[in-house]
Structure 1
Amino acid sequence: MNTDTSSAVDDRKPTGGELAGAMETRGGVHRGAGDCIELRRLHRFFGKTKAVNDISFSVARGHVFGYIGPNGAGKTTSMRILATLDLPSYGDAFIDGFSVINDPELVRRRLGFMPDSFGTYRDVNCKEYLDFFARANGLVGRERNQRLEWVLDFTGTAGMASKPIRGLSKGMKQRLCLGRALIHDPAVLILDEPAAGLDPRARIELRKMIRELADRGKTVLISSHILTELAEMCDSVGIIEQGCLLATGSVEQIQRQRETHRELTIRLLDRASECAQEIETRTGIDRTLVDGTLVRFEFEGDLEAQADLVAWIVGRGYRVAEVASHKKSLEDVFLQVTEGLVQ
């Protein structure tokens, strides 16, 4: 009796875990550890305008990288090159180890791109829209149906699969666009301003989806003007202005690098004005302000220098009740690093 069942048709519906594992393997997520996005001395010129000027950075597999910069800084141009929609003037970029110049077809199989604005077909419904892009990406038969089912469920659009796109809210259209980027199970996602125009709840839900995708092994490069959300969502960030990368690393690393000045607030039980006058005699002190029993000032130095300063104040006989140090937020760092220049 022939016991070979390799050619048998399995009509059993796969479980969520089996389907998720199949999706991730097909998209190349498990090719191994290492950098999944890499830009090597990337340049893109438009006449005399240097839209991207010698940019290099990499993003590890399964990480979320926040791309930050003012309008016209070069973010979208960089993303378009990564998505093989434009070619660099010099340099190269790699997606999952494949060059955007030499292997664009292989890059596209591993990449999902969500532009800042996308065209929709007003007279088709959500499922028809996603099905079109599933077919365009070569998905057929059972695999296509499984991908459609998973994407509709993951993005929360299953309940409106039959609803015309023209009737969707901004938030639901963004979910649908994310679904389009996910339909072929890419290893890498490039998201250009995905939270633009969304209400607070929609932004929170989008942030959760992106973190879940990273936890599944997807590598995500995301641009946004909502810096507080990037600080919570991203493993690392890059700050770009006038086509140049000004800083890169984790939020904490960049904060430490730029934290040569911090704002200190000291609450005293008495003699606040007298204490402020003595503090002003110290080096590295600027912008001293007295507000009742509070003394606020800019302080230049690290945490050890801050501890020494507080010990000096106590040693001078002042009764310190509370010390607060204002840590620079990502927005503070962005304002400090950039100059608001455009091209």
Structure 2
Amino acid sequence: MSLLEVKGLRRDFGALRAVDDVSFELEAGTILGFIGPNGAGKSTTMRILATLDTPTAGEVLLDGFSLVDAPDKARPLIGYMPDRYGTYDDVTVFEFLDFFARAYGLTGPARARRLESVMEFTGLGPLADKLTHALSKGMKQRVALGRTLLHDPKLLILDEPADGLDPRARIELRELLRALADQGKAVLISSHILTELAEICDTCAIIEQGRLLATGKVADVLAQAAGTAVVELMVRLFPGEEGEGAWTRAERLLWEQPHVKEVAREGQVLRVRLEQEGGAATWGDEAAARLLRVLVEAGVPVCAFGHRERNLEDAFMRVTRGRVA
């Protein structure tokens, strides 16, 4: 059974339906990327999952507890980090975390051990005596994440945690989230930075205008959206003395092959897209091997050949209103 089960979730604000019949599941040890344009219903859904809002209809079960009927039992299992958070100006990092540890009901040696553990995990130990208002954006994010982890929740709900972070801080946050998933926590994370999510998410859920358009692994979402198996290959040539003739010959050969839908030159690389309806799991590898054999046997000077992994950006663009091939 999944740790989190969302069933037919709906939220109305008067005549506006912000969330419309959303259903998905999330297993322990898994990171799910919650993706959608501004106003899609992401934050509203996440606030309901954090028990900060009540749905108009639908059900949410967390480890068997209903967030609608028994929110007090579910809340200890949830760690919520909103997209906008605040800190108290005149307290140190340790005082800030200690305050929330006490609010979570931690006492005595248990509180001291938990504070030490969280500060070590988030790398906040050296900053224990620094005032929170003097921290950088990345360090403030670590403090916010540390506060979210104090009561050792099973489910983490993180709304735009990488917003405004510099590249190093994003990488460090990504490593922390992967480590949390490896500890068995379920992580639901929203972000507009799809390349960041692509590197850490196991599954994705794409929402637009309040409705869930697709959910699952990125490859499954792409196949579901396209109704066909799609493979993209990258072919790099070393034309040598043949020059432009090598490119022309390679493009002609590729267009002659079955299932080839696009051949485009990008610098020193040919991008090739193949499609087949109802393609088996191994179809892409078989098609790639066939194309490589054709090129090599024809004497085309191939120096690199491989798959281009389709990513969250591909999935998002295909299933939302800005649909592209």
Q: TM-score, normalised by structure 1?
A: 0.79
Question: Which digits, 9 at most, give the CA deviation of each residue in 1:257-302, with x for residues without a partner?
Answer: 4553636647476565366457556675445456899765543335
Query: Which stretches in structure 2 are left out of the alignment for 5+ residues?
Result: 277-282
1:102 corresponds to? 69
Percent identity over the alignment is 49
Q: Establish whether residue 262 from structure 1 lines up as the match of residue 232 from structure 2.
A: yes
Task: Provide the rounded CA distance (Å) in 2 between the counterparts of 1:275 and 1:145.
Answer: 66
Q: Establish whether residue 165 from structure 1 lines up as the match of residue 132 from structure 2.
A: yes
1:19 corresponds to? none
Task: Provide the rounded CA distance (Å) in 1 between the counterparts of 2:109 and 2:306.
Answer: 60
Pairwise mapping of residues 116-131 of structure 1 onto structure 2 (< 5 A)? Answer: 116-131=83-98
1:320 corresponds to? 300
Question: Which digits, 9 at most, give the CA deviation of each residue in 1:174-220, with x for residues without a partner?
Answer: 11101111111111111111111111111111111111112222111
* Deviation, structure 1 residue 56: 0.9
Tell me whether 101-110 or 218-227 shows the greater mean CA deviation. 218-227
Question: Which digits, 9 at most, give the CA deviation of each residue in 1:230-265, with x for residues without a partner?
Answer: 222122111111112122112343345455363664
* Deviation, structure 1 residue 167: 0.5
1:312–1:166 CA distance, 2 compared to 1 (3 A)? closer
1:31 corresponds to? none
Aligned partner letter, 1:326: R
Task: Provide the rounded CA distance (Å) in 1 between the counterparts of 2:174 and 2:270.
Answer: 39
Task: Provide the rounded CA distance (Å) in 1 between the counterparts of 2:265 and 2:183.
Answer: 51
1:114–1:318 CA distance, 2 compared to 1 (3 A)? same
Question: Which digits, 9 at most, give the CA deviation of each residue in 1:60-93, with x for residues without a partner?
Answer: 1122111111121111111100100001111011
Q: Establish whether residue 211 from structure 1 lines up as the match of residue 178 from structure 2.
A: yes
Task: Provide the rounded CA distance (Å) in 2 between the counterparts of 1:80 and 1:263.
Answer: 41
* Deviation, structure 1 residue 319: 2.6
Q: Establish whether residue 186 from structure 1 lines up as the match of residue 168 from structure 2.
A: no
Aligned partner letter, 1:66: G
Larger radius of gyration: 1
Task: Provide the rounded CA distance (Å) in 1 between the counterparts of 2:254 and 2:293.
Answer: 12
Question: Which digits, 9 at most, give the CA deviation of each residue in 1:123-144, with x for residues without a partner?
Answer: 1111221122112212222222
* Deviation, structure 1 residue 43: 0.9
Question: Is contact 1:272-1:294 (8 Å) kept?
Answer: no
Task: Provide the rounded CA distance (Å) in 2 between the counterparts of 1:173 and 1:282.
Answer: 54
Question: Which digits, 9 at most, give the CA deviation of each residue in 1:131-168, with x for residues without a partner?
Answer: 22112212222222222222222211122222111111
1:327–1:143 CA distance, 2 compared to 1 (3 A)? closer
Q: What secondary structure, in the 3-state scheme, does the structure 1 residue paired with 2:6 have?
A: strand
Q: Establish whether residue 80 from structure 1 lines up as the match of residue 47 from structure 2.
A: yes
Structure 2 residue corresponding to 1:335, chosen from 292, 304, 317: 317
Task: Provide the rounded CA distance (Å) in 1 between the counterparts of 2:234 and 2:267.
Answer: 15
Root mean square deviation, CA, Å: 2.8
* Deviation, structure 1 residue 325: 4.3
1:175–1:271 CA distance, 2 compared to 1 (3 A)? closer
Task: Provide the rounded CA distance (Å) in 1 between the counterparts of 2:256 and 2:144.
Answer: 59
1:53 corresponds to? 20
1:177 corresponds to? 144
1:252–1:271 CA distance, 2 compared to 1 (3 A)? closer
1:160–1:92 CA distance, 2 compared to 1 (3 A)? same
Task: Provide the rounded CA distance (Å) in 1 between the counterparts of 2:195 and 2:86.
Answer: 28
1:140–1:247 CA distance, 2 compared to 1 (3 A)? same
Aligned partner letter, 1:333: A
Tell me whether 165-174 or 245-254 shows the greater mean CA deviation. 245-254
Tell me whether 86-95 or 147-156 shows the greater mean CA deviation. 147-156
Query: Which stretches in structure 1 are left out of the alignment for 5+ residues?
Result: 1-33
